[in-house]
Every structure is written in structure tokens, then in C-alpha cells.
Amino acid sequence: EDQVTQSPEALRLQEGESSSLNCSYTVSGLRGLFWYRQDPGKGPEFLFTLYSAGEEKEKERLKATLTKKESFLHITAPKPEDSATYLCAVQPHEGGGYNKLIFGAGTRLAVHP
């Protein structure tokens, strides 16, 4: 069964304190791994898609990496505005076309001044 596990469940950081969020996955065949940011009461905001082990992508203070079993979202020198829930999702290979995403439970990040 395809499964996504995110850790930690919640993380509290001081402003400027870098850290990493983990996303472990088991999937029969990985088409892509997605990272999203979600603010309370809003829809998820797309951050990155990673497709192959060794791939890395960066956006401002965020960098996502991918291995065959897990992905990390590194946050460098976070600011209070980075506080949000970060969601990881895998997209399994299921034939052609656009395939569904399977989400992890998310990591709730709080960055304090």
C-alpha cells in the first residue's frame, strides 16, 4: 500500500534557526513527489515537484531533496512568515494521464521572533 509519513508532526523554531522536515514514503512506483505549504483556512500552495533520486530544488529559504525512500525540506534561516503546515505528497505511477496525489499528515511549523 502506498504510504507517506511526515516527521516531526510539529516543529517550533526560533527565527534564523535552520532545520529540516522529513517525508518518508513507500510507493509501488514513484512518478513524482510534491511539497506544498498550507496556511490555516486556505488551500495548499505549490512549492516543488521532484521526480528522481538526487534531484534538488530551491525557492528562497526552502530547498527540497529526494532519495529513493525519503525527501527533505530544508529551511534556512526561517522567518516568522514561514510558519505554516508543510505537506508532502507522492504521485504513484498508474498508467497514463494525470494521477492522484497521496498526502502525508503534514508538519506544523511555527517560527518565533
Partner 1 sequence: GAVVSQHPSRVICKSGTSVKIECRSLDFQATTMFWYRQFPKKSLMLMATSNEGSKATYEQGVEKDKFLINHASLTLSTLTVTSAHPEDSSFYICSAPTGSNEQFFGPGTRLTVL
Residues binding partner 1 (CB under 8 A): 31-32, 34, 36, 41-46, 49, 87, 89, 91, 97-98, 100-106, 108
Nearer to partner 1, 9 or 113 (CB): 9
Closest distance to partner 1 from the beta carbon of 104 (Å): 6
Please state the closest distance from residue 16 (CB atom) to partner 1, in A: 27
CA atoms within a 13 Å half-sphere pointing along the CA-CB vector of 18: 9
Nearer to partner 1, 31 or 74 (CB): 31
Look-up: residue for cell 506544523? 108
> Residue 41: which region, alpha, beta or left (left: phi > 0; alpha: psi -120 to 50)?
left
**Closer to partner 1 by Cβ: residue 53 or 77:** 53
Min CB(85)–partner 1 separation in Å? 8
Determine if residue 31 is left, alpha or beta; phi over 0 gives left, psi from -120 to 50 gives alpha, anything else beta. alpha
Is-cis flag, bond preceding 44, omega within 30? no
